[in-house]
Structure 1
């Protein structure tokens, strides 16, 4: 049982607005800590639950620049991505490996859809079963292709989120330069 006053939606909204997540004013914190101390084991559980959600939703901090923007970033082209890959010696090769890994997922999705769709058509000859089997085959094949790329390209060693965010930060700086000129 949770003694949670704020809903999960409120917690996410606080993250997006870049307010400290579970920190109120100092008076409210002191009141809350004395409140949890007076509750004993239940108060300790309440504090642990708060800490748990603070840690689990920490990934939202990485997306402050991308979520909730007043105006979205303009679209980028493959040439823009290639410029970033050439300009950044650390995250450039990582982003290039991530872009190449999409090919593995696409091939896996095509093979999965063709195989499972073919088996379904061979044995059932029903159109809706064929379509559902193709969709499920594409999903499974895409996931399998992504896993193959993960190990073949050793993507588990790189910071995928960091590479994508570094590109977004670079792209934002480039677009702001263009607007200011």
Structure 2
């Protein structure tokens, strides 16, 4: 098994690689098309902005490579958001792999934006064993839709995890989510 972590300029590359290594798998951080195409699993991590990540993927000629992947692909945080068609963050067209768009949380008196910290995630019935608290760091979200497999609440209900064909996304950071995050990552890597 080869796990390719796409280097799209995010700050959490090393922590994602350590999280994968910790559960017994080997991961490489790469921008090489061959490494990504030949891998059994692909992770698109992200801490940053949708605009910057899309610009980085375009610059490194990885957009078409990602769109053509047939192996399991996991997008984390920004990596999940760019799977959609459009992001309000930077008003940027994204990969368009999952129908829908990404919106900004509205500031409320009792809630700070960005959402930073632990939040309860409720998965659909068939995945309820993953119900737990996970770590979030996000100002943007995808509304609940037909592809949502888990949701959370931060002023509004939003998509915490999504699945469409071979593409899975999680708004939370499994690499920062202790045992619950390790269990989630392990399940992805065993798919």
Per the shorter chain, which TM-score range? under 0.3
Relative to its length, the structure with more helix (as a share) is 1
The answer to which structure has the higher strand fraction is: 2
Larger Rg computed on CA atoms:
1
Q: TM-score, normalised by structure 2?
A: 0.19
